Every structure is written in C-alpha cells, then in structure tokens.
Amino acid sequence: MSTFQPEPPATAPTARRVTAPAIRARKGPDGAVDTPIVMLTAYTARMAELLDPHCDVLLVGDSLGMVIYGLPSTVPVTLDMMCAHGAAVVRGAGHALVAIDMPFGSYEASREAAFASAARVLKETGAAAVKLEGGETIAPTVAFLVARGIPVIGHVGLTPQAVNTLGGYGARGRSEAEAAKIAADARAVADAGCFALVLEGVLEPIAAGVTAAVACPTIGIGASPACDGQVLVVDDMLGMFERTPKFVKRYEDLAARIGNAVETYAAEVRGRVFPGEEQLYRSKT
Ligand code: KIV
C-alpha cells in the first residue's frame, strides 16, 4: 500500500463497531467488568488502522497538541484540529468506538456552546462519542449533552486542560480534601450520564473507591489497576519520546528504531547505494 492508494480498513465492511451502550454495559449491575476495557489514543488514519483490531475504544485525545503539533500543552488545541484528526481516525478504524476530546474553550462557557461544539465534532468526524474534562461544575453540561443524543466520556482527577490552575501535571488526590473532591467530581459526572469515565493521575485508593462507587466503567491512566480499563497515549507506550512518565510502560522503542532506519537511509543515499537495482522501474518489453 502506498500513501496515495489507501486500502479500506481491513475491519470496515463486516465488523460491527463497538458502541457507547456496549462499553457502558461491560460493567454489570454487580459493579464488575469481566475483561478490562482497552483504550489507546490515535490521531491518524494509518495508526488507527493498526490499533483498531486490538482496542475497544480509540480516543482522539487533545494530547495531539503536544504529540502531533509540538505545542506546550493542550490549551491551544482547536476544534478544527480535533475534527480533522477525528475524521482521519474514523476512516482508519472499523471496529473500535472512536471518541473525540472536546478541546479547551469549546464546552465550558455554556451547555448550549458545548452542544454546538459536540454536534459539530460528531457530524464532521463520524465519531460516536466525545470526552470532556471536569467534575461537579461540568456535570450539568454532561447531562444536557447525553439527553440530546451525545454519548459522553467523563475525565476527572488530573485534568490537563486545567494545567494553568492546577500548576502542573503531578498526581492528584494526595490530601484528604483533594481525594474527596475527586470522588465527588467522579460521582457527579457519572450520575450525569457519562458512559465511561477516565481517571487520570490519581492514587490507587481513590481509583478503587471511585470504581466501586460509579455505575459506568472507569478507565485509568496513571490511576492503578483498580480501574475497569486502561488508556495510554500511543506514542508514549511505543517509545516515541525520550521521556517516559512513571505510569507509562514502554512496549517498544520506536524513536531509536526510526533513528537507526533514517541513519541507514541517509548513509545509503550519500554512498549512492540507494536506490539500487531492485528499486528501478524497467521497460515492460
Ligand atoms: O488527551 C488525551 O490523550 C487524554 C488521555 C490521556 C486520557 O485525555
């Protein structure tokens, strides 16, 4: 396959795509999830195609601001960026539920503004859900969206869009007051109707307490195995960056492998080894 002749995703024509109600139903009335939910971020069609057969949910995270665009935080990410990458991921994935992060500034001002932004995201991308950060303050917005046909994933604990008020990206819930606030935030958005809840950067007892308290599945990132599922930024787990956050396990070392491959390519071009005989077009006669 070349860049110019993309094949349809292998899973597209026949497989049924995972739905928001199906993810919600993974947590039974007894509060148990049989098999943990697998979620990874994806930002491009080809990566979505590679991740799709293995994941329940692909999240077009606003982490793309840092991962793809080299921005210093998620704060500058725009709806245009989320829609462009969201549509690419939906084109690449035929099985996993695709959820799209609502970027900072697109949903906080009012429930109506949130609906307009979320509706645009779903219309322009074909994704089936949005994710938004926040707890008690944002819960009425979650209820408003859900009541109007927009499946929502909540996100509490460390909420990166609030970096300017939090003062950094450290784990949350180290004081009793902060732990109680995270638990209250989680209950508020879960009760408002989100079908899953991302818990980011919280201590294990908080994750365990929230997971036991809410009806929807919790999906942890830096939040211990006590959650009902896990999510990572795909570039982190593939080793695309030198720095690996403590909660990330590197399953590959792609940065080094890419460096080696490109070093070899550069040496072969300079040494007139590439292109070789095998890469030459020949006349058909
Ligand atoms: O933006 C993102 O990638 C996220 C995940 C890390 C949960 O919100």
pLDDT tens across 10-20, in order?
A: 554 446 899 99
Query: How confident is the prediction for the chain on average, in pLDDT?
Result: 94
- What is the model's pTM? 0.94
Alpha helices in the chain (DSSP H): 20-25, 45-51, 64-67, 79-92, 111-125, 139-147, 163-166, 176-191, 204-213, 234-237, 254-270
Tell me the mean pLDDT in the region 51-64: 98
167-180: average pLDDT: 92
- 19-38 average pLDDT score: 97
200 is catalytic: yes
Q: Which residues make Cβ contacts (< 8 Å) with residue 234, sequence separation at least 6?
A: 40, 41, 42, 47, 51
Q: Which residues line ligand 1 (CB under 6 A)?
A: 41, 59, 61-63, 101, 198, 200, 221, 231, 233
Query: Which residue puts its alpha carbon closest to atom 1 of ligand 1?
Result: 61
Q: At what angle do helices 139-147 and 176-191 cross, to 10 degrees?
A: 20
How remote is the CA of residue 238 from the centroid of ligand 1, in Å? 15
Res 16: pLDDT: 86
Residue for token pair 């074909």: 126
Please give the distance, rounded to the nearest whole angstrom, from the Cα atom of residue 110 to the centre of ligand 1: 23
For ligand 1, mutation pick of 67, 155, 233 (most atoms within 8 Å of CB): 233
pLDDT digits (tens, 9 = 90+) for 71-118: 999 999 999 999 999 999 999 999 999 999 999 999 999 999 999 999
What's the pLDDT score for residue 4?
53
pLDDT in the model for residue 187:
98
Q: Are 101 and 61 in contact (CB under 8 A)?
A: yes
Kindly give, in sequence order, each residue whose CB lies less than 8 Å from that of residue 64, ignoring residues fewer than 6 positions away: 41, 43, 77, 81, 82, 85
Q: Is the pLDDT of residue 32 over 50?
A: yes
Q: Which of 5-19, 52-66, 142-156, 220-234 has the lowest mean pLDDT?
A: 5-19
Atom of ligand 1 nearest to the CA of 67: 3
Percentage of residues of the chain with pLDDT beyond 90 = 90
Ligand 1 nearest atom to the CA of residue 41, by list position: 3
Does residue 61 register a pLDDT over 90?
yes
SS3 state at 183: helix
Kindly report the protein residue whose alpha carbon is nearest to atom 8 of ligand 1. 61
Give mean pLDDT, residues 253-274: 98
Mean pLDDT for the stretch of residues 10-35: 86
Mutate to test the pocket of ligand 1, among 41, 44, 235, 237 (most ligand atoms within 8 A of CB): 41
Give the mean model confidence (pLDDT) for residues 207-234: 98
Which of 219, 191, 204 has its CA nearest to residue 27? 219
